Amino acid sequence: MLRESTLNIVIASLLLLVPVAALFLDEPFFITLATKVAILALAAVGLNLALGQGGLVSFGHATFFGVGGYSMGILASHAQSFTPLMEVPFLIEGTNSMPVIWLVAMIASALVALVVGALSLRTSGVYFIMVTLAFGQMFYYFTISWPAYGGEDGLSIYVRNQFPGLNTLDPIQFFGICYVILMLALLFVSRLNNSPFGLALAGARQNTERAQTVGINTYRLRLVAFVISGAITGLAGALFADLNRFVSPTMFSWHTSGEIMIFIILGGVARLYGPVAGAALFIVLEHYLGGLSEYWHIYLGAILLFVVLFAHGGLIGTLSKKERRHA
Amino acid sequence: MSLLELEAVTAIYGATPALFGVDLTIGEGEVIALMGRNGMGKSTTIKVICRLLKNPEGRVTFAGEDIANLPAHRAARRGIGLVPEGRRCFPNLTVGENLIASARPGEWDLGKVHGLFPRLKERSDQMAASLSGGEQQMLSIGRALMTNPRLLILDEATEGLAPVVRQEIWTAIATLKRQTGLSILVVDKSIAELRQIADGVVILERGSSVWQGGIADLSADVKDRYLGV
């Protein structure tokens, strides 16, 4: 059995080594696959803060993923058509600068998370799940009927956005960007989880009433966690849109919310690297099982059932067997 | 001046009326024992004070402020620290994390809690769920102290513990009283041990406060009538 921290290093190294090896073997497809893992893992890192640490079963994180994606799509489409986004009351131009897009994506999804969280956190249990799901579906149908940005057909961005000093169209360089962001997000979340804020959040999950009697405002605490969680998933959405150079309402659909949650369950709920392990496993399964059969989700369902019934800590829990911290 | 004052408090627990008129006063630095047989309203009274029970009737004032409709976390921030019945730490946080998660600025910090309960320092990296009952009780008291309360409420703090451990807890409470001048409301059944620390006693009977006085004034008749001893 491995220590969880050792296992984390192994996973982080593997995710870095696979695309580097693919570069030398001239297999760019695997670089793109690894990039997809890094981005989807980032989306799940966001959800894991709410779901794992906070115990908030959000079935609407596609909302933030989509808001991040559309932030990128809208800004980049205006840059590509040289039309301003807005002229009155002041001029806002489109942009193809990644850092600006990331910032906008995070702020936009944080604001949406603030509204969704403020309403949904007044409920709990099944109601919380339903309210978050409803918000995702609202955005889904809204974008379908929003012709300005492609409606149901989505929006294509022909050239990948720019990052100063890098050629983002080179798969390995774009992978590098996504990998660094994922690592920074993991570092941030790990620090957050062990701070008084994160400990209070875990305490509130274990016993809400107890947390309140030591002076913790559980509503506000969860709202802040939900907003941070949404912003991280929103950033992943912007990167995902850049990876595909395409955004569509599918990003908002409940399938997306479900997939983000499946990454976490496969990898290990409340485990720092659970989202990374889960996203990697999911993409590998999708690639290989998807090659065998169009109905690969049947096998995925069986694996998921197995994990839920027999391997509670997911991949990380099964391999490390360490006591589940904060969970 | 009194720190906590309950005046003619009535409350409904779930669908059942549980309190029919409780009067209770605790002064600064005073230790009051809340006594009564099982089901007489002791825990409900504590829930009212800690704001875990919504909309009680009557007056509940803490440090001169009406707190009857405050949310629980605000009551805690005003200085009401609860050591709940059945201990109830955060099981999947370590001992140290349990204390840090509850910390509010003030005189009590990790060092001071470790000074009172050296055992918590030794066990700092251990999961709270893996502690013995007595250690969990120490952690529970430590956690309440970390919130820097003006009033500490101990609900059945020694229930179900071995005699040696009970004595350890009582000694710690006595130390607290002697050294800090903290106001304490303690719910317990053991008169012998309460004698060491309590200044006054309030007895509840069927949801009403029926007897108040010094602990030395507890006559055999009162004990027999209300406490069944």
Asked whether residue B86 is assigned to any structural domain, the reply reads no
Chain-chain contact of B101 with A202 (C-beta, under 8 angstroms): yes
A55-67 mean pLDDT: 96
Asked whether residue B23 is assigned to any structural domain, the reply reads yes
Chain-chain contact of B101 with A210 (C-beta, under 8 angstroms): no
Cα torsion for B213, B219, B221, B227, to the nearest 10°?
60
Range of the domain at A276: 4-320
If one counts the domains in chain B, the total is 1
For residue B76, give the chain A residue with the closest CA.
A215
Q: Which of A215, A216, A326 sits opposite B93 (nearest CB)?
A: A326
The shortest C-alpha distance from A310 to chain B (Å) reads: 21
CA–CA separation, A65 vs A256, rounded Å?
8
Neighbouring residues of A198: CB distance < 8 A, sequence distance ≥ 6? A53, A192, A326
Neighbours of B225 (CB within 10 A): 13
pLDDT of residue A323: 55
Sign of CA dihedral A115, A117, A120, A126: positive
The shortest C-alpha distance from A272 to chain B (Å) reads: 15
CA–CA separation, A53 vs A65, rounded Å?
20
Instruction: Give which of A122, A191, A212, A214 to mutate to test B binding, by max B Cβ within 10 Å.
Output: A214
Name B20's bridge partners. B10
Chain-chain contact of B104 with A215 (C-beta, under 8 angstroms): yes
How far does CA A27 lie from the centroid of its chain? 26
Asked whether residue B3 is assigned to any structural domain, the reply reads yes
| DSSP output for B45-98 | HHHHHTT-SS--EEEEEETTEE-TT--HHHHHHHTEEEE-TT----TTSBHHHH
Which among A112, A118, A125, A117 has a CA at the least distance from the CA of A65? Answer: A112
If one counts the domains in chain A, the total is 1
pLDDT of residue A50: 97
Chain-chain contact of A214 with B100 (C-beta, under 8 angstroms): no
pLDDT more than 90, % of chain A? 78
Chain-chain contact of B93 with A209 (C-beta, under 8 angstroms): no
Which among B59, B79, B58, B221 has a CA at the least distance from the CA of B153? Answer: B79
Place of tokens 């007897």: B211
Asked whether residue B87 is assigned to any structural domain, the reply reads no
| Helix axis angle, A218-244 to A98-120, nearest 10° | 140
**SS3 at position A200:** helix
Asked whether residue B153 is assigned to any structural domain, the reply reads no
Which residues of chain B are within 8 Å of residue A317 when distances are taken between CB atoms?
A: none
| pLDDT exceeds cutoff 80 at A243 | yes
Question: Tell me, what CATH number does B229's domain have?
Answer: 3.40.50.300
Asked whether residue B209 is assigned to any structural domain, the reply reads yes
A202-207 mean pLDDT: 93
CA–CA separation, B187 vs B149, rounded Å?
17
Range of the domain at B212: 1-70+182-229
Instruction: Give which of B48, B62, B67, B73 to mutate to test A binding, by max A Cβ within 10 Å.
Output: B73
Asked whether residue A326 is assigned to any structural domain, the reply reads no
pLDDT of residue A327: 46
Name which residue leads in pLDDT, A74 or A313: A74
Report the predicted TM-score, pTM, of the whole model to 2 decimal places. 0.92
Which residues of chain B are within 8 Å of residue A216 when distances are taken between CB atoms?
A: 73, 76, 101-102
The shortest C-alpha distance from B83 to chain A (Å) reads: 9
Mean pLDDT of the residues in chain A: 93
Residue type, A204: A
Pairing of strands B80-83, B151-155: parallel
For residue A198, give the chain B residue with the closest CA.
B101
Asked whether residue A71 is assigned to any structural domain, the reply reads yes
Pairing of strands B208-214, B200-205: antiparallel
The shortest C-alpha distance from A162 to chain B (Å) reads: 42
Asked whether residue A136 is assigned to any structural domain, the reply reads yes
Question: Tell me, what CATH number does A204's domain have?
Answer: 1.10.3470
Asked whether residue A271 is assigned to any structural domain, the reply reads yes
Which residues of chain B are within 8 Å of residue A209 when distances are taken between CB atoms?
A: 52, 72
Q: What is the DSSP-derived secondary structure letter of residue B127?
A: B
Q: What is the DSSP-derived secondary structure letter of residue B126?
A: S
Residue type, A76: A
Asked whether residue A327 is assigned to any structural domain, the reply reads no
Which among B41, B74, B35, B73 has a CA at the least distance from the CA of B56? Answer: B41
Q: Which residues of chain B are modeled with pLDDT < 70?
A: 229
Q: A121-148 pLDDT, tens per residue? A: 999 889 999 999 999 999 999 999 998 8
Which residues of chain A are within 8 Å of residue B49 when distances are taken between CB atoms?
A: none
Name which residue leads in pLDDT, A157 or A321: A157
Token reading at A106: 């995070």
